[in-house]
Chain A
Amino acid sequence: MTTVVPPPTTPTGPTEADSPSAKPDEEFYTWTGKARRWMLKTLPPKKLLPETQPSYVASWIYVFGMGAIASLAVIIVSGVVLSLNGPSWWHLSSLGHFVNSMHLWSVEFFFLFMVVHLWGKFWMAAWRGGRLLTWITGVVSFAVSIGAAFTGYLLQTNFESEWISFEAKDALNAAGIGAWFNVANVGQMFMWHITLLPLAVAAIVALHVLLVRVHGVVSPLDAAETDTQLRDAAFPELTDKADR
């Protein structure tokens, strides 16, 4: 059963409690101070790390976004272990092969969760209410992740990577990209796979998550001011009784 908690007494904007280091009448003169003011106003600590969520955030579909982030964590950890041991390790050691398997399967789960999350957000029209950039960063993170995974397949240093580098060059060359992004150049692909693309994915995902926190989780499509959940918010004790 959903535990219903009262809404905040001050529904919008940061309070002094939210931003103890930025008092409302405090003036800022430096770039740093102004940046702090903007950050605390845009994303006060209570919004960044909330202890409650709207009562409509109660569906399995919400699990998949977190599932994707959890998978990304496993991808990064297994990827770091693989790269620290060098590209040949996983061919020569059973432990290396197992870590490679972990890297592979965490990527498979990552995409599975991300696709379900993406479609879930589409059918929820999650871009509503000023959440355009949240949607865009989500799609961009998906696209960049495809690039990151692709370069990973090129780094397997086995028959598959050999074949992929031969086949994939044509589309990249036709688009004028292959001259700079040479899929048969393993050194270049290492740079993309273990540095540039992971950083890009991590940065976009971080921005995506921060935007979710800034704007909150989008309300149901058919939600209206007359809904019980909104009317009862002014009288939480009634809701508590109804729940009991």
Chain B
Amino acid sequence: MTKSLSPMSWRKGTGLAGRAWNGTNREYDLFKELTVGVIVVTLLVLAASAIFSSPDDHSVTLKSWANSQPSDFVVTANTELGHTSATAGYGPPYNSTQGATQTIGPLDLQSLAGVKIPFDTAKDFVITPLSTLPNPPAAVATWNSATSDQQTSWTEAYGKALDKAKDNDPAAVASGNYGPVPALTRSLLTMAKQGSLDSVLQSGGSFYNFDYTRSVLFLGDGTYLKDLATKLHLSGDQWGMMNETGNYPGQSWLWLFSFFYQIEPFKSAANADLLVVFTVAILTLLLTLVPLIPGLRNLPRLIPFHKLVWRDYYKRR
């Protein structure tokens, strides 16, 4: 005996949905519809563009950061030197910091991907750029000749002193044994204020550049970029993933992705990003496979919106 198919089945079957329509037809002009569609959409787009335009807030640079918030810049440079910044402790793909990756049980995709874009924040963000100066500060040689423990001791001491100083102002730091660190961060600040750090970090001394990873990570380690984003409602806890600068719709199609960052247990989880990625991936897979899932595929019958769609057809039955 042949098992009869559910009317909601995706299989071809022998029902009306699986056969070529043999009933009444209506005239239809595919090319005409396409042409009208393109004209109407073009007019809509032209109107929206003329009325609403599009946002274009200038990018920030290491130069603008150094000039606007020099103290934040110096504090951040010190964390890069001491390998205590967010980037320094990030883990793959930038470095191999132990225990820094986001995991679900034994699943550690971040480590599996490996350190593909390696950075040593002290060397790449501070020492190497300073070494490109026509007259590198003597502090660079002092730093390079020191042991790792000595370097850590200097940056820790200077970091604590900056914390205690009024407004983290390097000029207000109490005297102490900071080694070459104040001279290094001061020189880097000067370099950044003049604008040369931007080009050195981005191009690494080459003429061409297409990769802004170092600059973006350095900027993001400070508070300047984050504070600006928060003011523009772009941070993660402000649905920033789908927001756009100004009053524009932004990437509203990322609402579900953004939504999970607003609720527990995702919001405060140490592996929030991985949890959200997996959750959205599973939901997307479910949507893709709706026709194969008996409960979900029956929803259109239980909630009969189809009666609205085909009301003319049903009226004439």
A residues sitting closer than 8 Å to B (CB atoms) are: 2-7, 11-12, 49-59, 61, 63, 66-67, 69-71, 73-74, 78, 90-91, 97-98, 100-102, 104-106, 108-109, 111, 115, 120, 122-125, 127-132, 135-136, 139-140, 143, 146, 149-150, 153, 156-163, 165-168, 170-171, 173-180, 182, 184-188, 190, 216, 218-225, 227-230, 232-233, 236, 239
Minimal beta-carbon separation of A99 from chain B (angstroms)? 8
B116 proximal to A (CB < 8 A): yes
Please determine whether A70 and B37 come into contact, CB atoms closer than 8 angstroms: yes
Q: What's the minimum C-beta distance from A132 to chain B, rounded to whole angstroms?
A: 4
Q: What distance in Å separates the Cβ of A194 from its nearest Cβ neighbour in chain B?
A: 13
A120 to chain B: closest residue by CB: B309
Chain B contacts with A in 219-273, Cβ cutoff 8 A: 219-220, 225, 228-229, 232, 234-236, 240-241, 244-245, 248-249, 251-254, 271, 273
From A175, A177, A185, A224, B213 is in contact (CB under 8 Å) with A185
Count residues of chain B with CB under 8 A from any CB of chain A. 113
Q: A98–B124 Cα gap in the complex (Å)?
A: 39
Complex: how many Å from CA A68 to CA B234? Answer: 28
Taking CB atoms, residues of chain B closer than 8 Å to A232 are 23-24
Q: Please judge, given known A-B contacts A125-B8, A131-B10, A175-B274, whether A4 and B57 are in contact too, CB under 8 Å.
A: no
> Contact at A146–B27, with CB atoms within 8 Å?
no
Binary A-proximity of B201-230 (CB < 8 A = 1, otherwise 0): 000000000111101110110000100110
Question: What is the distance, in angstroms, from A173's C-beta to the closest C-beta of chain B?
Answer: 6
Q: What string of 1s and 0s marks CB contacts (under 8 Å) between B1-35 and chain A?
A: 00000011111110111111111111111110110
Q: Which residues of A contact B213 (CB under 8 A)?
A: 182, 184-185
Q: What 1/0 flags go to B156-191 for Cβ under 8 Å of A? A: 000000000000000000000000000000000000
Q: Which residues of B contact A173 (CB under 8 A)?
A: 90, 92-93, 110, 113, 273
User: Is the CB–CB distance between B253 and A111 below 8 Å?
Assistant: yes
Count A/B pairs, Cβ under 8 Å.
341
Q: Which residue of B lies closest to A143 (CB)?
A: B284
Within 8 A of A (CB), among B31-71: 31, 33-34, 37-38, 40-42, 44-46, 48-50, 52-60
B193 to chain A, nearest CB (A): 19
Find A101's partner among B49, B57, B307 (CB 8 Å cutoff): B49
Extra contacts besides A232-B23, A233-B24 (19): CB < 8 Å: A49-B31, A56-B312, A66-B34, A74-B42, A78-B45, A98-B50, A101-B48, A105-B48, A128-B18, A129-B13, A129-B15, A130-B11, A139-B287, A160-B57, A168-B241, A173-B113, A175-B277, A220-B309, A221-B300
User: Which chain B positions have C-beta within 8 A of A139?
Assistant: 284, 287-288
Interface pair A182/B23, CB less than 8 Å apart:
no
**A182 to B210, alpha carbons, bound, how many Å?**
11
Complex formed: what's the CA distance from A125 to B307 in Å? 12
A53 touches B26 (CB 8 A): yes
A175 to B54, CA, bound (A): 32
Task: Please judge, given known A-B contacts A67-B37, A179-B113, A216-B21, whether A159 and B245 are in contact too, CB under 8 Å.
Answer: yes
A127 to B11, CA, bound (A): 8
Complex Cα distance, B225 from A221, in Å, reads 53
Given A11-B20, A56-B310, A176-B112, residue A66 in contact with residue B37 (CB < 8 A)? yes
CB pair A106 B301 closer than 8 Å = no
> Chain A nearest CB: distance from B226 CB in Å?
9
How many angstroms from the CA of A162 to the CA of B225 in the assembled complex? 9
Cα A5 to Cα B33 in complex, Å, equals 18
Taking CB as reference atom, which chain B residue is nearest A171? B273
**A123 CA to B210 CA in the complex, in Å?**
46
Please give me the residue from chain A that is nearest to B215 by CB atom.
A184
Q: Which residue of B lies closest to A60 (CB)?
A: B309
Q: Which residue of B lies closest to A6 (CB)?
A: B25
Most buried by B among A101, A136, A168, A216: A101
A102 touches B314 (CB 8 A): no
Please state if B28 and A52 are interface contacts (CB–CB under 8 Å).
yes
